[in-house]
Structure 1
Amino acid sequence: MASEPENFIGTVTSHYAAARGVLSRASAFLAKVTFKIPKGGSPGETIVELGKKWPLSEEERLTLHILVQTKPGVAFLDEKIQGINRAAFHRSAFALNALAQLFFVDVAAQLYLSLPALKLALFAANLLVALTAHGEMRALFKALIAGPNALPPKRRFFGLFPNPEYNRAVKKHSKHYARSAWKEKSLYRPAYFIDAATIFLGGQFILPPEKIIFPFGFIIGKVTGLFTTLLTMFDIWRGVRAGEDARVAREREIAVYRDLDI
């Protein structure tokens, strides 16, 4: 009789250890897929975290450490890290949406139509947006390594005349924010809402649950419904956030134009 509680405790402990191992592996996989660069307690720690996610040469590492010696350099590092994390999140989200469109969504079937090209088009469109976000990640990383561009003097000839090169440099500096605002508002935001609508309307496993033997068809139907509902809510949330990110990028663009020498 005394051994039964011990066996029960041993069984619960082993199940807990197994579940904990699965959760830790899932967490590690999610962290690797999402490519989030955590912000360290200091700029140096943030650079270390960046090196864990993106291979840095000794020259690039030294360049970043020199950059963060000044307050504007720290602000520049934080802004680029946030941009990289945001683009990485878009990349992961649209890759997930692409897989969902391929395996869990069939709008044509829900409308009693036969349009396999529609499924492939939605899948390819999501992959294209994910690749766009990946390209944005790489561009932001290159901009981070290059560092902030030094502006030429506002005026020349002992301050008597304005320097046209200064205004051109300021306008060039604002183009990145304009592109970011356009992508968030005109690309990512509509794409999230389109994904949400198509997933909500066409949520269905690649094989109809009624054609799968009971109870597997019932289980797959319930899991598919839960997954597509959560993904729909996620896409709506990200669409709203993309609009907010576009507003922030537009405000930064306007802030840059305030430096023009008019």
Structure 2
Amino acid sequence: MAEPEKLLETVTSHYTAARGFLARLSAFTARVTFKIPKGATPGETIDELGRRAGLNEEERLTLHVLVRTKPGVAFFDEKIQSINRAAFHRSAFALNAATQLLFVDMAAQFYVSLPMLKIALVVANLLLTAVAHFEMRALVRALIAGPNALPPKRRFFNMFPNPDYNRAVKRSSRHYARSAWKEKSLYRPAYFINAASIFIGAQFIVPPERIIFPFGFILAKVTGLFTTLVMIFDIWRGVRAGEDARVAREREIAVYRDLDI
């Protein structure tokens, strides 16, 4: 009877350790990616956003007032999704910059000297990290500012159309147009370029053959596993960026349906 009890105790301890590791990994990923988890109520989500974005009491109160109405809740949820997406892009391109710096050497694969190509790929990823960071901050400010109120559709006792209304509607669609362009023309090609360059030039900054056995062998295997995972991640994010661009374009078109024609 002792053996089954020991086996059960061992399995339980391993399960507890694995569960604790996954919980810590999830918490670390949430901190690194700035992901704002959706709470049971909008108030919980606001509190989480306040902790991560450093909102003051006045800004939190503004958001609490915003989510009291159904259109305000829809606006709030949409902005939170956009903030999380921009924060994920920021972390993804920071990861790609580190990968390009430490684990990619296309010059060694082609037996040529191309140090500027490596620098260009690292710098390009850092620039995309900055673009995503500033987009995220702009989205937080837009969330706090709230939805823009549209002027009346018609004026002079509803006898004449109001040109200001259509101009306001068109202004409200610009964010979706910019988002669609970034996802399709900026982020999506960047992910695929990163995946291709990692596939071609995956190699640690120090060649494993120069390291004594078995450390060189272990390093080569770890490097191969890491770069493969990053490459798969980039392909997945490139596909998702195309889907995000399609959704943003659909939202832009939906805004134009409100025009008074």
TM-score, structure 2 as length reference: 0.92
- Structure 1 residue 55 displacement after superposition: 1.4
- Structure 1 residue 29 displacement after superposition: 2.6
Q: Secondary structure at the match of 2:124?
A: helix
1:74, 1:203 → 2: CA distance?
45
Question: Which one-letter code corresponds to 2:143 in the other structure?
Answer: L
Q: How many residues were matched structurally?
A: 260
User: Do structure 1's residue 184 and structure 2's residue 187 form an aligned pair?
Assistant: no
2:43, 2:111 → 1: CA distance?
58
- Structure 1 residue 44 displacement after superposition: 1.3
1:165, 1:14 → 2: CA distance?
66
Q: Residue 77 of structure 2 aligns with which residue? A: 78
Q: Residue 68 of structure 1 aligns with which residue? A: 67
Q: Secondary structure at the match of 2:158?
A: coil
Q: Residue 144 of structure 1 aligns with which residue? A: 143
Q: Residue 251 of structure 1 aligns with which residue? A: 250
Question: Which one-letter code corresponds to 1:99 in the other structure?
Answer: A
Deviation track 1:84-133 (CA, whole Å, cap 9, x = no partner) reads: 00000000000000000000001111111111111111000001001100
1:15, 1:40 → 2: CA distance?
30
2:188, 2:161 → 1: CA distance?
40
Q: Secondary structure at the match of 1:38?
A: coil
1:22, 1:69 → 2: CA distance?
38
Per the alignment, do residues 14 and 154 of structure 1 end up closer, same or farther by CA in structure 2, a change over 3 Å counting?
closer
Question: Which one-letter code corresponds to 2:138 in the other structure?
Answer: A
Question: Which one-letter code corresponds to 2:39 in the other structure?
Answer: G
Q: Residue 120 of structure 2 aligns with which residue? A: 121
1:231, 1:223 → 2: CA distance?
12
User: Do structure 1's residue 172 and structure 2's residue 201 form an aligned pair?
Assistant: no
1:230, 1:74 → 2: CA distance?
37
Question: Which one-letter code corresponds to 1:253 in the other structure?
Answer: E
2:30, 2:63 → 1: CA distance?
24
1:190, 1:242 → 2: CA distance?
9
2:50, 2:177 → 1: CA distance?
28
TM-score, structure 1 as length reference: 0.92
Q: Residue 106 of structure 2 aligns with which residue? A: 107
Q: Residue 30 of structure 2 aligns with which residue? A: 31
Q: Residue 240 of structure 1 aligns with which residue? A: 239
Q: Residue 207 of structure 1 aligns with which residue? A: 206
Q: Residue 5 of structure 1 aligns with which residue? A: none
Structure 2: where are the runs of 5+ without partners?
Answer: none
User: Do structure 1's residue 225 and structure 2's residue 224 form an aligned pair?
Assistant: yes
- Structure 1 residue 11 displacement after superposition: 10
Structure 1: where are the runs of 5+ without partners?
Answer: 3-7
Question: Which one-letter code corresponds to 1:181 in the other structure?
Answer: A
User: Do structure 1's residue 43 and structure 2's residue 18 form an aligned pair?
Assistant: no
1:220, 1:63 → 2: CA distance?
52
- What's the C-alpha RMSD, in Å, of the aligned pairs? 2.3
Correspondences of 1:83-98 after superposition (within 5 Å): 83-98=82-97
1:188, 1:95 → 2: CA distance?
13
1:244, 1:10 → 2: CA distance?
46
**Percent identical across equivalent pairs?**
79
2:59, 2:194 → 1: CA distance?
39
Deviation track 1:109-166 (CA, whole Å, cap 9, x = no partner) reads: 1111111111111000001001100011001000000000000001111111111111
Per the alignment, do residues 43 and 15 of structure 1 end up closer, same or farther by CA in structure 2, a change over 3 Å counting?
closer
1:13, 1:177 → 2: CA distance?
49
Deviation track 1:222-248 (CA, whole Å, cap 9, x = no partner) reads: 111111111111100100000000000
Tell me which moved more, 48-57 or 251-260: 48-57
